[in-house]
Amino acid sequence: QRVAFHESGHALISEICFPGSVSTVTVVPRSKTLGFIRQKESVAPVLQTESYLKKQLCVLLAGGAAEELVFGERSTGAANDYQRAVEIAENIIAHGLSRLGIINMNYVDNRELSLVSGEIIEESRAKVADTLAGQQAVLNAVAEILAERERISGEEFRRILHN
């Protein structure tokens, strides 16, 4: 059931940030994952804006945030999501899109990098937590169906979201 809420969180935030993006949501284990959302083929913009990167961050953080909302704590199942979130936050900093502005990364110490990337991640996590709390009925409905059937198509997911 935890995996169903985790994947429902990813799907819900993906669809809010990138409408029409969810192709499939599943809790069928595959490779090293216990579940996943498949997003429709889309080409990431060559020039990525701060808002685009922060939306990507939100999608990554949504699984753990959904777990925290429902179960009161996150699990280690979100570890890969968090690693990727740190990479995106560091990318935001490296490209001059953070509060540090345009900088030479060679002169940013690891402590400062960690602090600023943590701020970026926390800002996105708080936004995701608020969004999921406001959409908990949808989150619950999707997770319930996933727990029962193990898979939901993007079309069915959007019907649930918009009803």
Residues serving a catalytic function are: 7
Q: If DSSP states are collapsed to H, E and C, what string results for the chain? A: CHHHHHHHHHHHHHHHHCCCCEEEEECCCECCECCEEEECCCCCCCCCCHHHHHHHHHHHHHHHHHHHHHHCCCCHHHHHHHHHHHHHHHHHHHCCCCCCCCCCHHHCCHHHHHHHHHHHHHHHHHHHHHHHHHCHHHHHHHHHHHHHHCEEEHHHHHHHHHC
